[in-house]
């Protein structure tokens, strides 16, 4: 018993200390898969900027065409670079052994990343790259410290640098923590446009994580309507059965 208590204290103590690191809270993505135009833009960004390293091997091109209101020809001409079969899944061109050699870690499949990490985490991750000369690829990330992923959207976003503030930790020691990031050289997009682009991409990954959600949302309204009508009928029926019982 004593030992369990001690373990629990240690565990919560550790979590508490981790929470006190002064990390910046995640930004809200306000992700919505109910916007086909945004999903289409997100798909374009994904195939252009992510599919070279990350697969989404649970997603088929023909299913995507249907869900995103695109014709199969449009998908074939604009979104398919790693295969010419519309029934294929979104595979990556790079071999995983090469990836291991280049990055020291294989870029994970992103099929269910939105469910594993959450959309706010993804949004903050893609906004959170900043220059860090101490890292081998010159960047670090606010929510994924020391990530091996390069900042592949740097051309769009530009380069950010951290602004620090000093804080006292629980032992009374001063330390520098990142307060926010600021743009030190701009990319092709304005900050607002970059945020919109990242949101489109997060929406797309949200959709990829659970494609059936689109049908579920569409069907849900009809199911609720059906249940409501059923309620009226059942209520009338009950009134009829019980009308002579008092």
Rg, Å, the chain Cα set: 24
Structure tokens at 207: 């959709």
Q: CA-CA distances (angstroms) from residue 83 to 40, 70, 73, 80, 92?
A: 19, 18, 14, 6, 9
Question: By CB under 6 A, is residue 147 in contact with ligand HEC?
Answer: yes
Q: Taking the complex as a whole, how short is the minimal distance between the CB of residue 114 and ligand HEC, in angstroms?
A: 9
Question: Rounded to 5 degrees, what angle do the CA atoms 49, 52, 58 make?
Answer: 100
Question: By CB under 6 A, is residue 132 in contact with ligand HEC?
Answer: no
Distance separating alpha carbons of residues 90 and 241, to the nearest angstrom: 58
Question: By CB under 6 A, is residue 155 in contact with ligand HEC?
Answer: no
Q: Name the residue nearer to ligand HEC (CB basis): 72 or 138.
A: 138
Closest CA to 198 of 46, 64, 78: 46
Question: By CB under 6 A, is residue 50 in contact with ligand HEC?
Answer: yes
Q: From residue 86 to residue 105, what is the string marking binding to ligand HEC with x (rule CB under 6 A)?
A: -----------------x-x
Closest CA to 131 of 165, 156, 160: 160
Question: By CB under 6 A, is residue 49 in contact with ligand HEC?
Answer: yes
Q: Name the residue nearer to ligand HEC (CB basis): 145 or 238.
A: 145
- Is the distance from CB of 158 to CB of 183 less than 8 angstroms? yes
Q: Taking the complex as a whole, how short is the minimal distance between the CB of residue 179 and ligand HEC, in angstroms?
A: 24
Q: Taking the complex as a whole, how short is the minimal distance between the CB of residue 216 and ligand HEC, in angstroms?
A: 24
Question: By CB under 6 A, is residue 129 in contact with ligand HEC?
Answer: no
Distance separating alpha carbons of residues 79 and 56, to the nearest angstrom: 13
Structure tokens at 69: 């209101």
- Is the distance from CB of 156 to CB of 189 less than 8 angstroms? yes
Q: Taking the complex as a whole, how short is the minimal distance between the CB of residue 174 and ligand HEC, in angstroms?
A: 29
Among 24, 86, 112, 148, binds ligand HEC (CB under 6 A): 148
Question: By CB under 6 A, is residue 107 in contact with ligand HEC?
Answer: yes
Part in contact with ligand HEC (CB under 6 A); list of ranges 22-30, 47-55, 158-166, 238-246: 47-55
- Is the distance from CB of 8 to CB of 164 less than 8 angstroms? no
Q: Taking the complex as a whole, how short is the minimal distance between the CB of residue 105 and ligand HEC, in angstroms?
A: 4
Q: CA-CA distances (angstroms) from residue 27 to 23, 39, 120, 142?
A: 12, 20, 6, 11
**Would you tell me which residues interact with ligand HEC (CB under 6 A)?**
49-50, 52-54, 103, 105, 107-108, 110, 113, 117, 122, 125, 147-150, 152-153, 201
């Amino acid at each position: 018993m004593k030992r369990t208590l001690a373990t629990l204290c240690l565990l919560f103590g550790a979590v508490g200390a981790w929470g006190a690191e002064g990390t910046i809270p995640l930004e809200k993505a306000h992700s919505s898969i109910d916007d086909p135009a945004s999903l289409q833009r997100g798909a374009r960004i994904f195939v252009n900027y992510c599919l070279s390293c990350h697969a989404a091997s649970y997603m088929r091109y023909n299913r995507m065409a249907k869900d995103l209101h695109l014709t199969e020809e449009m998908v074939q001409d604009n979104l398919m670079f790693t295969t010419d079969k519309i029934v294929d899944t979104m595979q990556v061109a790079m071999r995983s052994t090469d990836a291991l050699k280049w990055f020291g870690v294989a870029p994970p499949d992103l099929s269910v990343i939105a469910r594993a990490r959450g959309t706010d985490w993804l949004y903050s991750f893609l906004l959170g790259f900043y220059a860090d000369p101490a890292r081998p690829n010159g960047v670090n990330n606010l929510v994924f410290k020391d990530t091996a992923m390069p900042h592949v959207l740097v051309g769009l976003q530009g380069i950010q640098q951290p602004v620090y503030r000093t804080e006292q930790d629980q032992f009374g020691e001063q330390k520098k923590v990142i307060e926010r990031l600021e743009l030190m050289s701009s990319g092709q997009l304005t900050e607002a446009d970059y945020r919109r682009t990242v949101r489109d991409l997060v929406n797309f990954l949200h959709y990829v994580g659970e494609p059936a959600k689109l049908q579920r949302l569409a069907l849900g309204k009809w199911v609720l309507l059906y249940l409501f009508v059923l309620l009226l009928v059942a209520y009338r029926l009950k009134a009829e059965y019980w009308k002579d019982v008092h």
